[in-house]
Amino acid sequence: MPSKWYCDVRGKKVGPISPSELLEMIRSGDVTATTMVRKNDSRWFRADSVGGLFEAAFRDQSDAWGGSGEDEFDY
């Protein structure tokens, strides 16, 4: 089952969203390093604590996920 992400964007809870939607929100600036996020039913944490998240968002998009595209980043 694919992971679902949730974000607190300027006080508004957004989600569930897919990992690729989360990356797009980073690219657009809606999600920043200090944005609070959570994966599935986990606790809330800062987006910059998710290993590889921002790197994945700004890699060449044709190579950003390499494969299924799910869970290329860890927290």
Q: How far apart are CA 45 and CA 36, in angstroms?
A: 5
The two tokens of residue 1 are 């089952």
- pTM for this one? 0.79
Q: Given the structure tokens 């290993």, which residue do they identify?
A: 51
- Please report the pLDDT score of residue 71 as a whole number: 55
pLDDT in tens, 44-64: 999 999 999 999 999 866 554
- Under 8 Å between Cβ of 6 and 16: yes
Find all residues with CB under 8 Å of 46, minimum gap 6, and list them.
33, 34, 35, 36, 37
Buried b (16+ CB within 10 A) or exposed e, 29-43: eebeeebebbbeeee
